[in-house]
Copies of this chain bind each other. A is one copy, B any other.
């Protein structure tokens, strides 16, 4: 197959990420957010908030990383951060094989390596990209009066424990998150402790 045709098959397949819905709601509460628009939003966060990263980093790489970080969900679906993580890695690796495998081999390797870097969270760019991915849902939840937290029985303590990774990418955003969660708690946005 022609190189451009291979690239366009990948591009067309990507459209399906617009139909993968997350647990979070749009800030106006009208519907759940999908993973494609969520990825766009994170890229804008990277452009806007990069100065708050703990370490010096290549912002362009963070942007590319968040743009592709959820592509595997086209096959593997969205795995809720507070839900069962069983088989997640296996399902997502199979998805990465198939999806990035649509590209010409040189690009398949590039995209795959960028995605693996995000997953391993062992570089400054990957730590910050993961921090943004954990940070944004807190804003969505706060601005929808904790709707998704309530629906899934997630307590303030659980949010703080599960999202500590924000601090690895940005102490500033982590401090801000802690304040937000305490405020959400004071405002009754969390379900009763079980």
Contact = CB atoms under 8 A, between A and B. Distances in A.
Nearest to A67: B43
Interface in A27-74: 27-28, 30, 33-34, 36-37, 39-41, 43-45, 47-49, 52, 60, 63-64, 67-68
Interface residues of A, number: 44
B41 A36 contact: yes
A12 B27 contact: yes
A11 B137 CA distance: 12
Contact of A48 (B10, B15, B27, B143): B10
A155 interface: no
A107 interface: yes
A143 B40 contact: no
A60 B10 CA distance: 20
Contacts of A43: 40, 43, 63, 67
A182 interface: no
Contacts of A26: 15, 18-19
A81 interface: no
A52 B172 CA distance: 40
A95 interface: no
A8 interface: yes
Contacts of A172: 4
Contacts of A36: 36-37, 40-41
